[in-house]
């Protein structure tokens, strides 16, 4: 939400600086996302008078102007400016940018230059060039009647643009701060000034100083003339719209809003439309009270708040047509729907420059109904943001009265009385039993009762005595618990913890002392779980292998989930459609991250993420790695750059599985990696035929295309929950497990080489695994070191050379023992169709 400093000061009597206000807002829980000052950006621009305007000698569409930019510029002498604006003429007043000025609307810096052979020493500016609007057909022409603009005056001062704009982020539980009045109330409670007490009154020039709720006003209310007949309204959907107020204004002239009103709307990013519309937009931000105005000439019969009929359509003010259903609340007449209740009005009944009679609507819409309707239609608006959080139901009458009064002051006309259609009571916040000692026991800050009461009173809360009357501490100290009355604009207050939050945030969270938790003497015991230790070990291993850790969203879009088989869980109320499905795989997040890096010039991307994927039967801890781009860069020795292959993915999978404690030497390579993987260039690593520990290989081209990735990509998915826990060999100690001390063997290991002829279809890993299992007591390792095909190897076969490591125990191997082990190796290999080469 945005508001200007002058707007805030309508509600808050303060001399605090912009910096102090921003710091205080952050301190009391209203996050300031930014403060901008258009006046500072436009500081170099000044008012200038065109002394003369002559046709450019070399261009019919250009003029050569002599411009007087004030007595303190160029020694008071006019400067020459070449200008192409069709409205440039002698004696006009405009806005001048001297050389060296940055022009925000066009992104250029003015320099002295020659244009078609004529030197130009500055620029006369349009509205768009100053970043203040879209008009660019001509330069700004200031009024030449009294009081005259003064040459040399900073344009920001002349136009009243020295008004900093605050951009604040309001949490969903603070609907009262969706209006400037609520923010001012919080700042006053924090000691930054005094909340303005006011009466409903207007200056003759329609300047809007501020107003008070009528019950608190000390002076009589200056009523407007109420001669028009009130409109006819009724409620048929009491659940979605329990109250509906309306008022007519007839014989008015819908003109441009006053400059002060247009300036404020433009400052917060809204485009002024017309006075009747601008007033409703103004009150939406000013007091957080959305309103809507209808052109009465376009209505047929009375207005009714009802449920939409299935299939009804409405063309909204944003130019889009929406199809409604029976769960949505609408405002309609006897013929058609004119308003998606509490969200957006319809274009058909919108006011225009010819509108003379209007009906002003001020209704209360149920927050849950508004939220569901907005979600179904994927439609948001300033009104929806406020109604679904909870608008103050007790400002309806006053809000409507104040808006009608301002419209009347600007547009004239005759107003009717306010018509009220009440279908049911609106639930108001209930009193809360509160013990002042909770400020210390729950909030950590001991505060005197009097200070707590002053804070609550400044925020609009009050104390209630046994007779149900308002109670003041100076009348005596009540017994705990206090009964605290809750104002109608605070629907978020539901219990004593909420009262503690109000007291502590205003008193200052920074004042809460830091108190360390008690700690038993001695050395702290380890608290990390085995799963946490595993995650740390894997992260270190992946980083040591050159992989960069990524942390991606746990929620992805439906189409992204569909690319990897679809998600089992979806949100009914997502923050965004791009964050709707709980991820069934970590691949989509990594693929999107890789794509962003490659598009920004990265040539090699090596990412990993350790997180959870969400399947129909629960969540699964998974480590996923992605390799794409260049594995090795081009060079004089290697030639062109080399891409990643499935073997790179396999190497990463085996290294990470070994770090995770999986029996890497016993794993089998099998197919069926899944639809996301490239057939023939991917596989799984399994313990037996059913226990899949990892998938690895190249990703399917269709998957890469779905994520707009060019070139191949290798990946690894390690399913950590499938890795079996280690059995035996560990001693429990101090709540954890310790491995037995490593004892190196006393005797030197022996290596023997074997060369086998095997069918081409036999995987080398299967042969290595069979050899390792030939004599588990003696064989400690076996590895492939050569593959040969060609002369001497029959067709359809290949030669695999295996190095076998044998570790003696108490004594060295004898020749007979070595021959016996060799025979076991040959026998194990023969079962796979392998024969020892001669």
Please report the pLDDT score of residue 477 as a whole number. Answer: 57
- Which residue positions form the known binding site for Mg(2+)? 492, 498, 501-502
φ/ψ region of 80 (left if φ > 0, alpha if ψ in -120 to 50, else beta) reads beta
- Which residue positions form the known binding site? 492, 498, 501-502
Please report the pLDDT score of residue 209 as a whole number. Answer: 32
Write down the mean pLDDT value for the chain: 89
Average of pLDDT values for 326-349?
A: 94
CATH 3.50.40.10 positions along the chain are: 214-422
- Would you say residue 471 has pLDDT above 90? no
- Residue 226 binned pLDDT confidence (cut-offs 50, 70, 90): low
Secondary structure string (H, E, C) spanning 582-637: ECCCCHHHHHHHHHHHHHCCCCEEEEEEEEEEEECCEEEEEEEEEEEEEEECCECC
Do residues 693 and 686 make contact, with C-beta atoms less than 8 angstroms apart? yes
Please report the pLDDT score of residue 522 as a whole number. Answer: 86
Do residues 333 and 317 make contact, with C-beta atoms less than 8 angstroms apart? no
Do residues 64 and 78 make contact, with C-beta atoms less than 8 angstroms apart? no
Please report the pLDDT score of residue 453 as a whole number. Answer: 92
CATH 3.30.56.10 positions along the chain are: 2-37+163-195, 432-509
Provide the pairing of β-strand 642-643 with 337-340.
unpaired
Rounded to 5 degrees, φ, ψ at 227 are: -100, -20
Beta bridge partners of 670: 684
Average of pLDDT values for 74-84?
A: 94
Please report the pLDDT score of residue 812 as a whole number. Answer: 92
Please report the pLDDT score of residue 464 as a whole number. Answer: 87
CB contact set of 225 (below 8 Å; sequence gap of 6+): 414, 415
Q: What's the CATH code, domain 530-722?
A: 3.30.930.10
- Residue 225 binned pLDDT confidence (cut-offs 50, 70, 90): low
**Fold designation for 40-158:** OB fold (Dihydrolipoamide Acetyltransferase, E2P) (2.40.50)
Which residue blocks in 127-229 are alpha helix, DSSP H? Answer: 155-158, 180-189
Please report the pLDDT score of residue 472 as a whole number. Answer: 61
Question: How far, CA to CA in Å, does 397 sit from each of 210, 243, 258, 289, 674?
Answer: 16, 11, 25, 11, 64
Do residues 346 and 339 make contact, with C-beta atoms less than 8 angstroms apart? yes
Looking at 3.30.70.380, 3.30.70.890, 3.30.70.580, 3.20.20.10, the CATH number of the domain 750-836 comes to 3.30.70.380
Q: What's the CATH code, domain 432-509?
A: 3.30.56.10
- Would you say residue 427 has pLDDT above 80? yes
Please report the pLDDT score of residue 576 as a whole number. Answer: 86
- Would you say residue 208 has pLDDT above 60? no
Tokens of 325: 């259903």
CATH architecture of residue range(s) 2-37+163-195: 2-Layer Sandwich (3.30)
Q: What is the pLDDT of residues 13-41, one digit of tens each?
A: 999 999 999 999 999 999 999 998 888 88
Q: What is the pLDDT of residues 805-836, one digit of tens each?
A: 999 988 999 999 999 999 999 999 999 999 99
- CATH 3.50.40.10 for domain 214-422: yes
Average of pLDDT values for 653-675?
A: 89
- Residue 707 binned pLDDT confidence (cut-offs 50, 70, 90): very high
CA dihedral 810, 816, 817, 823 (to 10 degrees): 170
Do residues 250 and 356 make contact, with C-beta atoms less than 8 angstroms apart? yes
Please report the pLDDT score of residue 819 as a whole number. Answer: 93
Tokens of 495: 């219990």
CATH 3.30.930.10 positions along the chain are: 530-722
The residue with tokens 């190897």 is 793
Q: What percent of the chain has pLDDT over 70?
A: 93
Give the integer Cα–Cα distance in Å for 388 and 375.
Answer: 11
Average of pLDDT values for 50-77?
A: 93
Q: What is the pLDDT of residues 533-583, one digit of tens each?
A: 999 999 999 999 999 999 999 999 999 999 999 999 999 888 888 999 999
């Amino acid at each position: 939400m945005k508001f200007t400093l002058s707007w805030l000061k309508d509600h808050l009597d303060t001399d605090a600086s912009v910096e102090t206000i921003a710091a205080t807002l952050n301190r009391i829980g209203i996050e300031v996302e930014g403060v901008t000052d258009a006046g500072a950006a436009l500081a170099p621009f000044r008012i200038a008078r065109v002394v003369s305007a002559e046709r450019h000698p070399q261009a019919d569409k250009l003029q050569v102007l002599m411009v007087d930019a004030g007595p303190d510029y160029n020694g008071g002498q006019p400067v020459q400016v070449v200008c192409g604006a069709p409205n440039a003429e002698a004696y006009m007043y405009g806005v001048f940018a001297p050389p060296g000025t940055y022009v925000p609307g066009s992104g250029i810096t003015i320099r002295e230059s020659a244009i078609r052979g004529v030197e130009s020493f500055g620029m006369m500016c349009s509205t768009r060039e100053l970043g203040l609007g879209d008009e660019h057909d001509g330069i700004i022409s200031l009024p030449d009647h009294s009081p005259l603009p003064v040459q040399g005056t900073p344009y920001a001062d002349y136009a009243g643009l020295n008004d900093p704009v605050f951009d604040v982020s309001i949490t969903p539980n603070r609907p009262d701060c969706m209006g400037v009045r609520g923010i001012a109330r919080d700042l006053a409670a924090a000691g930054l000034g005094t909340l303005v007490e006011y009466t409903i009154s207007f200056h003759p020039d329609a300047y809007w100083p501020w107003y008070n709720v009528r019950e608190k006003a000390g002076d009589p209310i200056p009523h407007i003339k109420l001669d028009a007949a009130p409109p006819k309204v009724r409620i048929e959907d009491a659940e979605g719209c329990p109250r509906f107020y309306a008022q007519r204004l007839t014989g008015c002239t819908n003109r441009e809003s006053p400059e002060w009103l247009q300036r404020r709307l433009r400052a917060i990013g809204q485009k002024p439309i017309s006075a009747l519309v601008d007033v409703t937009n103004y009150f939406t931000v000013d007091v957080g009270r959305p309103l809507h105005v209808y052109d009465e000439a376009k209505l047929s019969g009375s207005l009714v708040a009802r449920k939409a009929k299935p299939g009804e359509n409405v063309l909204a003010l944003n130019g889009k047509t929406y199809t409604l259903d029976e769960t949505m609340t609408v405002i309609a007449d006897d013929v058609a729907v004119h308003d998606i209740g509490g969200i957006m009005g319809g274009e058909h009944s919108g006011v225009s420059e010819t509108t003379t009679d209007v009906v002003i609507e001020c209704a209360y819409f149920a927050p849950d109904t508004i939220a569901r309707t907005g979600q179904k239609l994927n439609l948001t608006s300033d009104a929806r943001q406020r109604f679904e959080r909870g608008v103050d139901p007790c400002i309806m009458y006053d809000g409507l009265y104040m808006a009608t009064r301002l419209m009347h002051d600007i547009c004239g006309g005759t107003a009717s009385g306010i018509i009220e259609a009440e279908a049911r009571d609106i639930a108001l916040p209930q009193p809360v039993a509160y013990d002042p000692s909770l400020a210390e026991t729950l909030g950590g800050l001991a505060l005197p009762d009097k200070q707590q009461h002053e804070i609550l009173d400044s925020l609009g809360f009050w104390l209630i005595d046994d007779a149900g009357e308002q109670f003041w501490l100076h009348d005596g100290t009540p017994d705990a618990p206090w009964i605290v009355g809750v104002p109608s604009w605070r629907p978020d207050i539901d219990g004593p913890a909420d009262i503690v939050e109000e007291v502590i945030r205003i008193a200052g969270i920074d004042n809460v002392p830091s108190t360390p938790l008690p700690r038993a003497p001695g050395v702290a015991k380890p608290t990390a779980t085995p799963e946490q230790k595993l995650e740390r070990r894997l992260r270190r291993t992946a980083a040591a292998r050159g992989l960069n850790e990524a942390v991606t969203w746990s929620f992805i879009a439906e189409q992204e989930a569909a690319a990897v088989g679809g998600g089992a869980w979806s949100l009914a109320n997502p923050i965004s459609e791009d964050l709707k499905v709980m991820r069934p795989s970590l691949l989509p997040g990594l693929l999107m991250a890789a794509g962003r890096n490659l598009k920004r010039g990265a040539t090699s991307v090596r990412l990993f993420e350790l997180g959870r994927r969400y399947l129909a039967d629960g969540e699964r801890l998974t480590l996923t790695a992605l390799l794409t781009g260049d594995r090795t860069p081009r060079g004089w020795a290697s030639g062109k750059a080399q891409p990643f292959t499935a073997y790179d993915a396999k190497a990463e999978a085996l290294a990470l599985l070994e770090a995770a404690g999986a029996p890497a030497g016993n794993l089998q390579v099998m197919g069926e990696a899944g639809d996301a993987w490239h057939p023939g260039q991917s596989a799984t690593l399994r313990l037996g035929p059913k226990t899949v520990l990892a998938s690895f290989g190249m990703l399917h081209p269709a998957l890469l295309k779905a994520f707009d990735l060019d070139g191949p990509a290798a990946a690894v998915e390690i399913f950590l929950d499938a890795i079996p826990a280690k059995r035996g060999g560990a001693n429990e100690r101090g709540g954890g497990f310790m491995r037995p001390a490593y004892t190196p063997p006393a005797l030197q290991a022996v290596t023997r080489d074997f060369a086998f002829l095997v069918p081409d279809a036999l995987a080398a890993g299967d042969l290595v695994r069979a050899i390792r299992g030939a004599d588990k007591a003696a064989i400690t390792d076996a590895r492939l070191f050569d593959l040969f095909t060609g002369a001497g190897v029959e067709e359809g076969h290949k030669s695999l050379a295996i190095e076998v490591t044998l570790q003696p125990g108490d004594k060295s191997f004898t020749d007979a023992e070595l021959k016996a082990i060799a025979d076991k190796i040959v026998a194990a290999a023969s079962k796979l169709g392998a024969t020892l080469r001669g």
